[in-house]
Amino acid sequence: MTTTRLRVLMTLASLPLLLAGQSAGAMVSDSFESIVRAVRDEASRRGVSTQTLDRALAGVQPLAVQTFENNQPERSRQITFAQYYNQRATPAAIEKGRKFMRDHARQLALIEQDTGVPPAIIMAILSIESNFGVVTGDQKVIPALLTLARDVQGNDRRAQERRAMFREEAVQALMLVDEGYDEILTRQGSWAGAVGPAQFMPSAIRRYAVDGDSDGKKDMWSDYDDVLPSVANFLKEKGWRSGQRWGYKVLLPEGFNKGLLTDTLREQHNKTPQEWAALGVHLENGEAMPSDSAMHVMLIAPNFNKQTGEFRGPVYMVYDNFRAVMEYNKSYKYALTVLQMADIIAKQSRSSAAMPAVPPSPAPYNQ
Ligand SMILES: [Ca+2]
């Protein structure tokens, strides 16, 4: 995400194709050394001590692994929403979320009181981000960020913004070290520079993390007393609205203008639910369209490719809470999976005081 993290799928099999794709139109990127110099100068300008800079950047090398930047939207469309969802919202993951939620029930209830963010949302995010801290990455954070600042290819606005974003995250990482967070240097993160169970980027730690146990430190690496309220605070700051639903699955009428589907958050097509109803959109569950006319909602189709016009279901009508989750990771598939997984975790936790030996499975998607 722009402020917090980046999600990219990389497989060895896809590398030759991706590298070939990058050769056309790729710009000559700045050298690693010049990026390090620029980041060092900027960090120094913002008050990071020379001692910290010397220590954090001594002998810094780019990552040895080949990285690439997912700046071509179709790459993220190579897997369908169904594939994405079914790989993550597994019965085992949902069961683990339920158990974690039960084990941290008291703290999560206080967090919900404070932020309005339901416990199950936090569970789904931690599950998908890191399997509750099991998979938090094995790269050094500052080298990873500097490498990505070099490796983002392309000369369009998005590529320029992403290069700038990784440089800024490297500056933020240095500021964290200067503030006493040696974990930036001693612990590992994802190859995109995100750390800990919640996979916060350095800027997100500085801006949104919370010292939940008031020990003077926002420990996003290993202390759930800090991690849990930090995830909730991030969502609250990004516009999570207490008690509001996130969205509905909807059906489109024959001949619906696909241009009204929102493809990127930069070009949203928002209307009230009643305005969508007037265009023939209706809820898949057969209920009447809600009359919350003050709320503007957009229609999204995670398998829709606006460039090629290729369209497959499902379609969702989504509210502000959906947008808040997308701030965590700017992917429809991600946000839809988090929110639907959270719905299942919450529902199963409500429906049984005692957990069944074999929990009911979520309905797998087949589209
Ligand atoms: Ca703390």
The alpha carbon of 158 and the centre of ligand 1 are apart by a number of angstroms equal to 36
Q: Are 174 and 39 in contact (CB under 8 A)?
A: yes
Phi/psi-derived region of residue 313, left when phi > 0, alpha when psi is between -120 and 50, beta in every other case: beta
pLDDT score for 310: 87
pLDDT per position as a tens digit, 320-340:
999 999 999 989 999 999 999
pLDDT tens over the chain, length 367 residues: 434 444 433 333 333 333 333 433 344 568 999 999 999 999 999 999 999 999 999 999 999 865 555 444 335 557 889 999 999 999 999 999 999 999 999 999 999 999 999 999 999 999 999 999 999 999 999 999 999 999 988 889 988 999 999 999 999 999 999 999 999 999 999 989 999 999 999 999 999 999 999 999 999 999 999 999 999 999 999 999 999 989 999 999 999 999 999 988 889 999 999 999 999 999 999 999 998 766 789 999 999 988 888 888 899 999 999 999 999 998 999 999 999 999 999 999 887 644 444 444 444 454 4
CATH number for 12-75+137-201: choose from 1.10.238.10, 3.40.50.300, 1.10.8.350, 1.10.606.20: 1.10.8.350
pLDDT score for 153: 85
The alpha carbon of 218 and the centre of ligand 1 are apart by a number of angstroms equal to 5
The alpha carbon of 219 and the centre of ligand 1 are apart by a number of angstroms equal to 5
Report the distance separating Cα 236 and Cα 241, nearest Å.
7
The alpha carbon of 148 and the centre of ligand 1 are apart by a number of angstroms equal to 30
Report the distance separating Cα 299 and Cα 282, nearest Å.
11
The alpha carbon of 213 and the centre of ligand 1 are apart by a number of angstroms equal to 5
The alpha carbon of 184 and the centre of ligand 1 are apart by a number of angstroms equal to 16
Q: Are 55 and 186 in contact (CB under 8 A)?
A: no
pLDDT score for 72: 40
pLDDT score for 79: 86
pLDDT score for 233: 98
pLDDT score for 365: 53
The alpha carbon of 232 and the centre of ligand 1 are apart by a number of angstroms equal to 15
Please state the domain extents for the chain: 12-75+137-201, 247-318
Report the DSSP beta bridge partners of residue 195: 200
pLDDT score for 60: 97
Give the pair of three-digit tokens for residue 302: 């995670």
Report the distance separating Cα 141 and Cα 151, nearest Å.
15
270-271, strands of its sheet edge to edge: 270-271, 297-300, 315-318, 247-251, 282-283
The alpha carbon of 18 and the centre of ligand 1 are apart by a number of angstroms equal to 41
The alpha carbon of 210 and the centre of ligand 1 are apart by a number of angstroms equal to 7
* Close Cβ partners of 328 (under 8 Å, ≥ 6 residues apart): 1, 4, 5, 125, 234, 235, 238, 334, 335, 338
The alpha carbon of 212 and the centre of ligand 1 are apart by a number of angstroms equal to 5
